[in-house]
Amino acid sequence: MSVLIYIDHADNQVKKSSLEALSYGSDLAKQLGTEADALILGTVEDDLALLGKYGVRNVYQVSNPQLNQLDAQVFTAVIADAISKTGADTIVFSGNATGKAVAPRLSARLKAGLVTGAVALPDTANGFTVKKTVFSGKAFAFVQLLSPIKIISVNPNSYSVKEGSGSAEISSLDITVPAPKVKVTATNKVSGSVPLGEAEIVVSGGRGLKGPENWGMIEELAGLLGAATACSRPVADSHWRPHHEHVGQTGLAIAPNLYIAVGISGAIQHLAGVNRSKVIVVINKDPEAPFFKQADYGIVGDAFEVMPKVIDAVKKLKGK
């Protein structure tokens, strides 16, 4: 009986989304009256004892460097072995790219009920029911997990990181790592920019910007705010911006603290990808744009006149 939180990492560092999963898992352990432990596969430069700050007692590590690259099949076998060694019965993942690859496999392997896209702690008063987003953020569902072992995959940016004090005990798990079938041949990262799925602030442009040559002001504002840039589907489809920037129902669904939409009318498919943002700002010259109904702050005006003023004001605020 314990909660085991899977820690994901890249470039030798623990991912922010895993800190959210740690906070979620520690709070869940408290609620269940049990302990929380963390599991990390592969190696990082971070001091793993510091994960104790997020409420975990032990950090179990399988420090085989082969595990620095993802093969979901191998990871599943290793995690399943770690679960039987540690006696954990509730497993928490971040619903990031690794969580999406591994959690469903683990669910099938252990016949353990899985809920993905969790946005709140489970209701454990009567059974074990987890709130998750459905219909691309337009609704939520309460999903009951019926099996003895339970797996929860937490939506990135939907549970706040809680940092306290404390130090975790690091212990190495002796687990045989099967040979991988997936051979990673290249990793291409957009350097220097904030990953869209993890960004606290996102500045996004739509067709109202008229052409790719006008993205300078989106990038400038994003740069000042430490934000990621995004775009609407027509913009990606017209190749004004790369596909990985497309947010919406058929693109990436994001939940930043602040979403600034410039020249985006707010079609229902776009809203589905961004409506979990905490604060939404809409700048659009059409006062009838449906996006204003979903916004917290709105400006009706020409982006080419409004944006320079906003950029100047941010520069003043940041003392630049």
Give, as ranges, the residues between 69 and 128 that touch other proteins (CB under 8 A): 70-73, 76, 95-97, 100-109, 111-117
- Residues paired with 151 in a beta bridge: 91, 114
CA dist 34 and 80 (Å) reads: 20
CA dist 200 and 302 (Å) reads: 26
Report the SS3 class of residue 305. helix
Name the residue among 208, 259, 209 with its Cα closest to residue 230: 259
Among 30-38, 40-48, 166-174, 272-280, the segment contacting other proteins (CB under 8 A): 272-280
Q: Binders of other proteins: how many residues, by CB under 8 A? A: 101
Interface residues for other proteins in 291-310 (CB under 8 A)? 292-302, 305-307, 309-310
Nearest distance in Å: CB 172, other proteins:
26
Q: Which of 14, 78, 92, 145 lies at the binding interface for other proteins (CB under 8 A)?
A: 145
* Nearer to other proteins among residue 43 and residue 269 (C-beta): 269
Task: Supply 42's token pair.
Answer: 């592969």
Interface residues for other proteins in 161-180 (CB under 8 A)? none
Give backbone dihedrals phi and psi of 205, rounded to 5 degrees, phi first: -120, 150
Nearest distance in Å: CB 57, other proteins:
28
Nearest distance in Å: CB 79, other proteins:
12
Among 30-38, 49-57, 203-211, 268-276, the segment contacting other proteins (CB under 8 A): 268-276
Q: Which of 45, 183, 213, 319 lies at the binding interface for other proteins (CB under 8 A)?
A: 183
Interface residues for other proteins in 230-249 (CB under 8 A)? 236, 243-244, 246, 249
Nearest distance in Å: CB 166, other proteins:
27
Q: Is residue 129 a contact residue for other proteins (CB under 8 A)? A: yes
CA dist 61 and 271 (Å) reads: 40
Interface residues for other proteins in 184-213 (CB under 8 A)? 184-190, 193-198, 201
Residue 315: CB atoms within 10 A of its CB come to: 13
Q: Which of 141, 171, 238, 286 lies at the binding interface for other proteins (CB under 8 A)?
A: 141
Nearest distance in Å: CB 90, other proteins:
14
Nearest distance in Å: CB 254, other proteins:
12
Task: Supply 289's token pair.
Answer: 């744009």
Angle at 133 between CA 129 and CA 137, to 5 degrees: 160
Residue 31: CB atoms within 10 A of its CB come to: 14
Contact status, residue 8 vs residue 79, Cβ threshold 8 Å: no
* Nearer to other proteins among residue 166 and residue 290 (C-beta): 290
Buried b (16+ CB within 10 A) or exposed e, 254-266: bbbebbbbbbbbb
